[in-house]
Amino acid sequence: MTAVFYLLGVVLFVAAILASIGLHELGHMIPAKAFGAKVTQYFIGFGPTVWSKKKGETEYGVKGVPLGGYVKIVGMLPPGPGQGQAHARQADAATSRSGLSAGSVAGSRTGSAGSAAGAATGEVMVRRSNTGMFTQLISDARAAEWETIQPEDAPRLFYRLAWWKKVIVMAGGPTVNLLIAFFVFLGVFGIYGSHEVVADGGPPVIDSVSKCVIPYAESGRACRSTDPVAPAYQAGLRPGDRVTSFNGTAVTDWAQLRTLIQHNLSGHAVIGYTRDGTAMTGQTTTTVEARPSSDDPDDQTLKQVGFLGVSPASHIQVTHGGPIYTLRQMGTMTKDSVVSLVHLPVRVWGVAEAIVGVKERAADSPVSIVGGGRIAGEEISAKGFPLGDKIAGLLMLVGGFNLFIGLFNFIPLLPLDGGHIASALWEAVRRGFARLRRRPDPGYVDAAKLLPVAYVVASFLLVMGVVLIIGDLVVPLHPLSQ
């Protein structure tokens, strides 16, 4: 039965992520169509096509590898020098009739005699590329983009949209992910509440004593003969003992005791405690281990601190909240996600090292959809947890993935959505300065010139995906045991 629930958790998680991907792509497609751009494909997944159906000019379908999705918007790249003039002339005529991207189709001046002629005939010109060795790569990408474009498509090409329309189209996808995260978190915090384990007040009562020292990443497993004896067990501490002092310092609560233990590092420890009303003393030497240095569940950063091997008696504190509370919690999550994004390459490298056995996998390392599925399966199939806890855990996992995906896609690098947004904003800035300085319209930003950067970023994403998937299979995380 456990296997059935595990599979159910995996299926529910994957289905939720695929639905999120589908909604992300709708966030691009709906405004693109509303602004008159031509959308020819809407697919969930990559690789071979499993199912598709064409409705109007758009083909809708599902592909075999559920690791993403895409919407094909025609004309993402502007034409190169001497390319697409016929389309441009027809587009200018259609634009003057329809008002599409009014004021955004003036020719680009390149400083050559040909540019003056282009401006005179209303043709759209793009600055010549100076990328040297990448010229052929850019030319091939442009050719692939334009070989399926028909003359009648000219006024509906994406690059011809007004800059603010491009921003709305490209920001639509990740914004949908952030909205999904918000409503999922709102449902959890409003109905189930935010559950936090809080140590009981007063001098700490020991709830459990570790018999051995187990690495944090392996928490939850049984002791092995090779594991060192835990300092607390060696000192004779047992569940139910009330700690009253540590190295001569009176202890009033768990937070104080935790700090004293962590700062003791590998030093000698004299522990005063009471058992059944009798005052007793135990002596041991704390060890230095990688452990979270804070009780804050949002701060699980591992640090080398003193370790004793006791857990305090505690209770669950439940906090319910509405939209404002949810936004505050998302603010904290967003800050943590941004920090994770900044350190993403280092953390992916850490997973690679864990795969080959160089080091243990960090508890805060990133996971792929495979790892997310495993975590969801473990949460749903875990014994000893109420059904509400399991559902809330699954929903928080889905919300967390959407928050991270949304923020990740706003990174201003191609081929991510943020790269296209940055290009559109730069186009607005260039044209705005040109108007202020009474200079000729510089024309559209040529995103094709950034393709070398896009290929580097795409290569990193591919390698990252492979490393994380292998890591989730070889050295998976087990959050419930941590």
- 311 occurs within a structural domain: yes
Q: Which domain covers residue 328, as residue numbers?
A: 169-193+323-482
pLDDT in tens, 46-97: 889 999 999 999 999 999 888 889 999 998 888 766 555 545 554 454 444 4
Residues 329 and 261 in one domain: no
317, 335, 357 - which closes a domain: 317
- 329 occurs within a structural domain: yes
Strands lying side by side in the sheet with 249-250: 249-250, 242-246, 268-275, 278-285
pLDDT at 133 over 60: no
Q: Which residue has the higher pLDDT, 448 or 297?
A: 448
286, 317, 348 - which closes a domain: 317
CB 88 within 8 A of CB 126: no
Q: Assign 109 a pLDDT band (cuts: 50, 70, 90).
A: very low
pLDDT at 134: 58
Residues 332 and 467 in one domain: yes
* Enclosing H/E stretch for 121: helix 113-121
Which one of the listed residues 25, 289, 378, 427 is annotated catalytic? 25
284, 300, 317 - which closes a domain: 317
Into how many domains does the chain fold? 2
Residues 418 and 394 in one domain: yes
Q: What token pair was written down for 367? A: 């996971």
- 218 occurs within a structural domain: yes
378 is catalytic: no
Max mean pLDDT among 117-121, 132-136, 186-190 falls in 186-190
Residues 234 and 342 in one domain: no
9-19: average pLDDT: 93
- 31 occurs within a structural domain: no
Q: What is the CATH number of the domain that holds 220?
A: 2.30.42.10
pLDDT at 426 over 50: yes
- 258 occurs within a structural domain: yes
CB 177 within 8 A of CB 402: yes
pLDDT at 338: 92
Residues 339 and 466 in one domain: yes
pLDDT at 359: 84
Report the DSSP beta bridge partners of residue 43.
Answer: 61, 70
- 78 occurs within a structural domain: no
Q: Which residue has the higher pLDDT, 14 or 289?
A: 14
Degrees (nearest 5) of the Cα angle 36, 453, 136? 85
pLDDT at 294: 62
CB 315 within 8 A of CB 201: no
pLDDT at 152: 86
Residues 413 and 348 in one domain: yes
pTM: predicted TM-score of the whole model, two decimal places? 0.75
- DSSP line for 426-459: HHHHHHHHHHHTT--------GGGGHHHHHHHHH
pLDDT in tens, 253-272: 988 998 999 999 989 999 99
- 466 occurs within a structural domain: yes
